[in-house]
Amino acid sequence: MLAIGATSASVDGNTVDPAAFRDHLVIRRANQALVIPGRPDPAAVAQVLAPGATPLSRILPYLQTRPDGLWMFASLAVHPHASRTLGVIPRYQHCARSFRLSESAPPITRYPTWGALAAAVDQTRGTFEAAPW
C-alpha cells in the first residue's frame, strides 16, 4: 500500500519517491514468485491511501510508475478514534473501488484532487479508466 502524506510518501513505513516505489513493486513481484510459485501477483492491484484533498499532481508520479496497472482507493480520510487502551488512534474511511490506467482513455489530469478522482470512479458502473498523463 502506498501511503501519501502531507510531505512524503511511504510503503510499509519506508519513505519512497516514485523510482523507489517502482523498485518496491518489482522486488515484491520477484519475491512472491520465489516464495510461492504460481500464486497470483500481489502487486497486480496497487492500493493508495491518501486524503481526499491531496492534489492529484502529488500522486500522479507514483501512478505513472505502472501506467497499465490496476489501482485501488485504499482510503480517502483518516478519522481520530479514542481507543480505551491506546489513546487516540487513526481510523480510515475505506473505499474499495478500483480504476485502471489506459492510454486510450481521457486524461487523469482533469481531476484536481484524489477525492475528485474518487468521486468520478464511484459514479462509474464498470472499471473506471483514465490516461496516466
Domain hosting residue 85, numbered range: 2-130
Q: What pLDDT is recorded for position 28?
A: 80
State yes or no: pLDDT of 118 exceeds 90.
Answer: no
State yes or no: pLDDT of 52 exceeds 90.
Answer: no
| Residue 75, Cβ density class (10 Å: 0-12 exposed, 13-18 middle, ≥19 buried) | buried
Q: What is the pLDDT of residues 63-115, one digit of tens each?
A: 888 877 788 876 656 778 899 999 998 887 666 778 888 888 999 999 999 88
Between CA 1 and CA 3 the distance in angstroms is: 6
The pTM of the full predicted model, rounded to 2 decimals, is 0.77
CB 108 within 8 A of CB 63: yes
Q: What is the pLDDT of residues 4-42, one digit of tens each?
A: 988 899 988 899 999 999 998 888 878 877 887 776 665
Number of folded domains in the chain? 1
